[in-house]
Amino acid sequence: MVRWLPFILVSLLWVSLCLRDWRHGRLRRIWWWLGCWGLSALTWTPVAITLGGSVGQIQSFWWAGGIWVIWPLQPASVDASFWLNILMTVPQGLIWQYNHSAHRWRQWLLAGLATGLTLEGGQALFNRLVSLGRWVDINDVITNCLGVVIGAAIMLALQRRHATLK
């Protein structure tokens, strides 16, 4: 049960942020917090899903209660989970650009990097505090960032297309 504590506490944070924005009429921002909650559910719970792959061929080490991968783009690490990590953060990029339509690639990159570092940093912290049992992987930072950038670029293209149709 203690391994679920980080996700439960973070969920309470997301709920409070959603309620705050609801009261202030910032409904578009609620989608961002709901996306954060979804990413928290995928990365900060003690439930890890593996899709096969060559885990034994990835150079990693044990530190602070978890397995760390600090060498990016090892051939064995570019598997289905690599591509799914990109896909899982595309919605956050869509939402970011929807909420901040004046922002462009530098802000997308910062939002993506913040997303990836927050998710992996949370896994590292929670591995240390409650033995969450999740991998802390530099590839996930890269793929999460890329997913946000791709999502934001898609939304920008949709916004431009919509503007030309008016």
Bridge partners for 67 per DSSP: 62
Digit-by-digit pLDDT tens for the chain (166 residues) are 899 999 999 999 999 999 999 999 999 999 999 999 999 999 999 987 766 556 668 888 888 888 899 999 998 888 888 999 999 999 999 999 999 988 788 999 999 999 999 999 999 999 999 999 899 999 999 999 999 999 999 999 999 998 887 6
pLDDT value of position 61: 85
Q: Note the pLDDT of residue 103.
A: 75
**pLDDT attached to residue 52:** 57
CA dist 138 → 28, 107, 150, 156 (Å): 31, 21, 18, 27
- Residue 72: the pLDDT is 93
Domain of residue 94, residue span: 2-165
Give me the number of domains the chain comprises.
1
pLDDT of residue 35: 96
Torsion-angle region of 73 (φ positive above 0: left; ψ -120 to 50: alpha; else: beta): left
- Note the pTM of the prediction, 2 decimals: 0.90
Contact of 7 with 40, CB cutoff 8 Å: yes
